[in-house]
A and B are shown apart, each in its own frame.
Chain A
Amino acid sequence: MTPLLSMREIDKRFAGVPALVSASLEVGRGEVHALIGQNGAGKSTMIKILTGYYTKDAGEILFDGRPVEFSSPQDAQRSGISTIYQEINLVPYRSVTENICLGRERRRFGLLDWRAMHAEAEALLARFDIHIDVRRPLMAYPTAVQQMVAIARAIGFEARLVIMDEPTSSLDEKEVEVLFDVIRQLKQVGVSVIFVSHKLDELYAVCDRITIMRDGRTVRVAEMSELSKLDLITAMLGRELDRVLHDAAAHRAAAASQDALLKVAHLAVGRKVRDVSFDIRPGEIVGLAGLLGSGRTESARVVFGADRAEAGTVDFGSVHEPAAEPAEAIRAGMGFLSEDRKLEGIIPDMSVRENLILALMPQLARRGIVDDARSREIVDRFIQRLGIRCSGPEQPIRELSGGNQQKVLLARWLCMNPRLLILDEPTRGIDVGAKAEILNLVRELAGQGLGVLMISSELEEVVEAASRIFVLRDGRSVAELTGDQVSEQAVMAAMAHGHDQPEEMAHG
């Protein structure tokens, strides 16, 4: 039997820079196929060419044995290829039903047949074990539910091939399980799935075969069960993982005996942050751990002045109260990498250069006039130092891959020479290679005296990087783990049960 999808020798260039070089991808019927590679390896480009978002420069695409070239994602969808993107492409203000039936409304005597549409939406969601009031607006539900609605909507189109681009990034464990059940169900009825994810465990849990891409080429196609994790990572990075698992002990010891750089006490804001205290010494990486909704991000935002505190103190250098505006915190020597790169990080229409110097610009100026020569010097230096992959400093940042955008945003702060850097989910949506690069860089900077507050949902990452971890639960700091206490088990125990002496740390 012919494969359902066969993409052969696909070439694509953007402004002369090759993004795909004779890349290929083959997906069998009823197969769950993993597509993996670092950011910039060409995964997204491949998928966008398949769905008609981009046009290919060369190569051929066979779908169900017939050559195809879709003119738009809608066109692809009509032929049975549905895509679920990382971002939720739905209308938050409208009801769940309207979102699910968008573009294929049921009509009766020329009017919308609401009863039929509600019933259809409910039936569809029931397949996913979601039982919610479909008449309420979508935004009334948590992000994870919204994501499931997006998935349901895509599959509702009687798709024959479903493309899932990091579908689990905003789901919790139970929802991931539900999603996997759905995938297995899809498989049984002969629907194929292309599964893009950076989480290796997920790939092994659900995928049959895997295509690994690197630098725009397909470097390896294998049965999932016959490929070891080490082989997979090696193929993806093209080199041995020498320094990825770096020993953090050195700097854990280093920062021991200094005075606090930042001291936060009894912070409170809204319902999410009730009583949060922690401190950071120069040269120290401090982790802020906690489940989603425990107040990690909210606390960090208050420290940076992005949100207003209702109570509590923030001591940072000569400042003794929470900053009223980010500009104030920046002047005092802080930097803040937001968890949402697209919404709060990049300025998409601007170049790599302008994004990089955004915060530094006033200092680069003489009498209000930007010094372009100096800015270029600085930008070139950081592009080189952080290994940012771009065609040049003037390339629009929106054309860069997620990992490279993140490096630009990191450089935005590093060029300011901050004393404290707050990293909120610094490796979200980034491949293993870039992740390791960024974490190594952060360690190196901490070694030079930078204080770092790190927030991450990946416990492994926090435990590996941080010398101390503060655990939050329901908006309160419940534990401080130091030295030997720092382990995934300890953090999880604290997340679940709190610490036996929460009073002590409120003053520490």
Chain B
Amino acid sequence: MADTATTLPPARSQPRLDPRGVLTRYGAWVALALLILFNLAFTPNFATWQTLNVNLTQVCSIVIVGVGMTLVIATGGIDLSVGSLMAIAGALAPLIFLGNLFPLPHPYVGIALAFVVPVLVAGAFGWFNGWLITRLRIQPIIATLVLFIAGRGIAQVMTNGNLQVFKVPEFQYIGLGRLFGLPFQAVLMVVIVLAAAWMLKRTVFGRQILAVGGNERAARLSGIPVVSVKRRVYMISGLLSGIAGLIVIARNSAADANLVGLGMELDAIAAVAVGGTLLTGGRATVIGTLVGALIIQLVRYTLLANGVPDAAALIAKAAIIVLAVWVQRQGRS
């Protein structure tokens, strides 16, 4: 992948192509291309705006959360709390713009705050994850399990467990609006993916993320601020979860603390794994995560469009994950 942010820039000196290497490096792209070709040939009405929009809107929130997850996994960690943080952001936003939390001087103030505050709150919770991991030295899977469990509880307490239904077009632009004929959320997704891929590849922070994941002790002895790198990464994961939470409630015109972001952590991890990021840290590709999420989504769509029930699609999804991780392992040996 030309824009893969692994620690190895594309080899300049070795024009030789080794088929196994090609498969592991470009496997995800090949799979995506095959899926598209298959659909073009067999699925009726595949090459339409409608299909594109449906698939993009389905995949946006997974990709946005997956970007944060990629960064977290690149440091050798994991974030299980993303779905719960989506629920918190999703519960908080309507409370703000409906004026249930505090009186609003003007509706637009409420809408502006409804974008900013929930995302920042989710980011703060993400930072808290990082604090648990770096200060109390709790393993990431346990530390983020805390908010995985408590986060949804917090969201339900905030709303008394009520479903919040609303119709506020200005706010819902983030989930329903269009920019240049494309869903706004898809544009947002692409911007986030490109920004993160660039950050991982070109900036000191990005390289330090990979150094921490590649060998934490060596990174620390080289003066890399390991603690701050980790806290920032979990905070980014929180912020992105917050944005994804807003998109989901805007799309549904309703916020249900029980459902927003349910199972998201696993979808995001699956996208990261299929995309080619090393789950032990040190090697990561944000673009890969995008491709991974697209593959999972497209397989599901393909099966549904061809009359296979959703339950069977889940099995197909699992099979893809196994296949992707297996292909990656081939490249490691």
Residues of A within 8 A of B (CB): 15-16, 304, 306, 325-327, 330-331, 336, 338, 343-351, 354, 358-359, 361-362, 365, 368-370, 391-392, 394, 396, 412
| Bound-state Cα–Cα, A473 to B60, Å | 63
Would you list 21 pairs from A and B whose C-beta atoms are within 8 A, ordered by A residue? A16-B16, A325-B220, A338-B221, A343-B215, A344-B221, A346-B218, A347-B214, A348-B214, A349-B214, A349-B278, A354-B7, A358-B211, A358-B219, A358-B222, A358-B224, A361-B204, A361-B208, A369-B202, A369-B203, A370-B202, A370-B204
Those of B178-229 within 8 Å (CB) of chain A? 202-205, 207-208, 210-211, 214-215, 217-225
Could you tell me if A349 and B283 are in contact, using CB atoms closer than 8 angstroms? yes
In the complex, B13 has a CB within 8 A of chain A:
yes
Could you tell me if B224 and A327 are in contact, using CB atoms closer than 8 angstroms? yes
| Bound-state Cα–Cα, A348 to B220, Å | 15
Q: Which 5 A-B pairs rank lowest in CB-CB distance, beginning with the nearest?
A: A330-B223, A347-B214, A327-B223, A359-B222, A350-B7
| Least CB distance, A220 to chain B, in whole angstroms | 33
Question: In the complex, which range does the number of interface residues on chain B fall in?
Answer: 20 to 34
Contact residues in B for A326 (Cβ distance below 8 Å): 220-223
Take A362-B204, A368-B203, A370-B203 as given contacts and tell me if A336 and B221 are in contact as well, using a CB distance cutoff of 8 Å. yes
In the complex, B12 has a CB within 8 A of chain A:
yes
| Bound-state Cα–Cα, A391 to B14, Å | 10
| Bound-state Cα–Cα, A354 to B215, Å | 13
| Bound-state Cα–Cα, A16 to B203, Å | 32
| Bound-state Cα–Cα, A304 to B222, Å | 11
Further 9 A-B residue pairs, CB within 8 A, beyond A354-B211, A370-B204: A15-B14, A325-B220, A327-B224, A347-B215, A349-B6, A351-B9, A358-B222, A361-B208, A369-B203
Contact of A349 among B220, B223, B282 (CB under 8 A): B282
| Bound-state Cα–Cα, A368 to B207, Å | 10
User: Residue-by-residue, is B239-252 near A (CB-CB < 8 Å gives 1, otherwise 0)?
Assistant: 00000000000000
| Bound-state Cα–Cα, A504 to B127, Å | 51
Could you tell me if A391 and B214 are in contact, using CB atoms closer than 8 angstroms? no
Across the interface, name the chain A residue whose C-beta is closest to B225: A327
Across the interface, name the chain A residue whose C-beta is closest to B9: A394
| Bound-state Cα–Cα, A12 to B212, Å | 34
Could you tell me if B204 and A344 are in contact, using CB atoms closer than 8 angstroms? no
Those of B242-300 within 8 Å (CB) of chain A? 278, 282-283
The interface centre, meaning the residue of A15, A349, A361, A362 with most chain B CB atoms within 10 A of its CB, is: A349
Could you tell me if B282 and A361 are in contact, using CB atoms closer than 8 angstroms? no
Could you tell me if B12 and A394 are in contact, using CB atoms closer than 8 angstroms? yes
In the complex, B11 has a CB within 8 A of chain A:
yes
| Bound-state Cα–Cα, A343 to B218, Å | 7
Contact residues in B for A358 (Cβ distance below 8 Å): 211, 218-219, 222, 224
Could you tell me if B7 and A16 are in contact, using CB atoms closer than 8 angstroms? no
Contact residues in A for B217 (Cβ distance below 8 Å): 343-344
Take A330-B223, A359-B222 as given contacts and tell me if A354 and B203 are in contact as well, using a CB distance cutoff of 8 Å. no
| Least CB distance, A18 to chain B, in whole angstroms | 14
In the complex, B319 has a CB within 8 A of chain A:
no
In the complex, B311 has a CB within 8 A of chain A:
no
Contact residues in A for B14 (Cβ distance below 8 Å): 15-16
Across the interface, name the chain B residue whose C-beta is closest to A413: B222
| Bound-state Cα–Cα, A370 to B278, Å | 23
In the complex, B8 has a CB within 8 A of chain A:
yes
Contact of A344 among B218, B278, B282 (CB under 8 A): B218
Across the interface, name the chain B residue whose C-beta is closest to A412: B222
Across the interface, name the chain A residue whose C-beta is closest to B7: A350
Across the interface, name the chain A residue whose C-beta is closest to B210: A350
Could you tell me if B224 and A350 are in contact, using CB atoms closer than 8 angstroms? no
Those of B5-25 within 8 Å (CB) of chain A? 6-9, 11-14, 16
| Least CB distance, B153 to chain A, in whole angstroms | 36
Across the interface, name the chain A residue whose C-beta is closest to B281: A349
Across the interface, name the chain B residue whose C-beta is closest to A337: B221
| Bound-state Cα–Cα, A484 to B203, Å | 52
The interface centre, meaning the residue of A343, A350, A368, A394 with most chain B CB atoms within 10 A of its CB, is: A350
The interface centre, meaning the residue of B207, B210, B225, B282 with most chain A CB atoms within 10 A of its CB, is: B207
Take A349-B282, A369-B204, A391-B13 as given contacts and tell me if A396 and B8 are in contact as well, using a CB distance cutoff of 8 Å. yes
| Bound-state Cα–Cα, A368 to B202, Å | 9
Contact residues in A for B222 (Cβ distance below 8 Å): 326, 330, 358-359, 412
Could you tell me if B204 and A365 are in contact, using CB atoms closer than 8 angstroms? yes
Contact of A306 among B203, B221, B224 (CB under 8 A): B221
Could you tell me if A346 and B203 are in contact, using CB atoms closer than 8 angstroms? no
| Bound-state Cα–Cα, A316 to B211, Å | 28
| Bound-state Cα–Cα, A344 to B222, Å | 9
Could you tell me if A351 and B7 are in contact, using CB atoms closer than 8 angstroms? yes
| Bound-state Cα–Cα, A369 to B203, Å | 4
Contact residues in A for B207 (Cβ distance below 8 Å): 354, 361, 370
| Bound-state Cα–Cα, A186 to B148, Å | 58
| Bound-state Cα–Cα, A442 to B16, Å | 39
Could you tell me if A347 and B218 are in contact, using CB atoms closer than 8 angstroms? yes
| Least CB distance, B289 to chain A, in whole angstroms | 18
Contact residues in B for A369 (Cβ distance below 8 Å): 202-204
| Bound-state Cα–Cα, A345 to B211, Å | 11
| Least CB distance, A31 to chain B, in whole angstroms | 33
| Bound-state Cα–Cα, A354 to B224, Å | 13
Across the interface, name the chain B residue whose C-beta is closest to A354: B7
Could you tell me if B219 and A349 are in contact, using CB atoms closer than 8 angstroms? no
The interface centre, meaning the residue of A304, A306, A369 with most chain B CB atoms within 10 A of its CB, is: A369
Contact residues in A for B202 (Cβ distance below 8 Å): 369-370
Contact residues in B for A396 (Cβ distance below 8 Å): 8
Take A368-B205, A394-B8, A396-B8 as given contacts and tell me if A350 and B211 are in contact as well, using a CB distance cutoff of 8 Å. yes
| Bound-state Cα–Cα, A114 to B202, Å | 55
Take A15-B14, A327-B224, A392-B13 as given contacts and tell me if A347 and B204 are in contact as well, using a CB distance cutoff of 8 Å. no
The interface centre, meaning the residue of A331, A345, A394 with most chain B CB atoms within 10 A of its CB, is: A394
Across the interface, name the chain B residue whose C-beta is closest to A345: B218
| Bound-state Cα–Cα, A15 to B14, Å | 7
Contact residues in B for A348 (Cβ distance below 8 Å): 214-215, 282
| Bound-state Cα–Cα, A361 to B14, Å | 26
Contact residues in A for B215 (Cβ distance below 8 Å): 343-344, 346-348
Across the interface, name the chain A residue whose C-beta is closest to B204: A365
| Bound-state Cα–Cα, A385 to B217, Å | 27
| Bound-state Cα–Cα, A236 to B232, Å | 50
Contact residues in A for B283 (Cβ distance below 8 Å): 349
Contact residues in A for B6 (Cβ distance below 8 Å): 349
Take A368-B203, A369-B204 as given contacts and tell me if A394 and B223 are in contact as well, using a CB distance cutoff of 8 Å. no
Contact residues in B for A306 (Cβ distance below 8 Å): 220-221
User: Residue-by-residue, is B104-134 near A (CB-CB < 8 Å gives 1, otherwise 0)?
Assistant: 0000000000000000000000000000000
Contact residues in B for A365 (Cβ distance below 8 Å): 203-204
Contact residues in B for A391 (Cβ distance below 8 Å): 13
Could you tell me if B282 and A347 are in contact, using CB atoms closer than 8 angstroms? yes
| Bound-state Cα–Cα, A164 to B24, Å | 35
| Least CB distance, A347 to chain B, in whole angstroms | 4
User: Residue-by-residue, is B12-55 near A (CB-CB < 8 Å gives 1, otherwise 0)?
Assistant: 11101000000000000000000000000000000000000000
| Least CB distance, A105 to chain B, in whole angstroms | 26
Across the interface, name the chain B residue whose C-beta is closest to A416: B223
| Least CB distance, A116 to chain B, in whole angstroms | 35
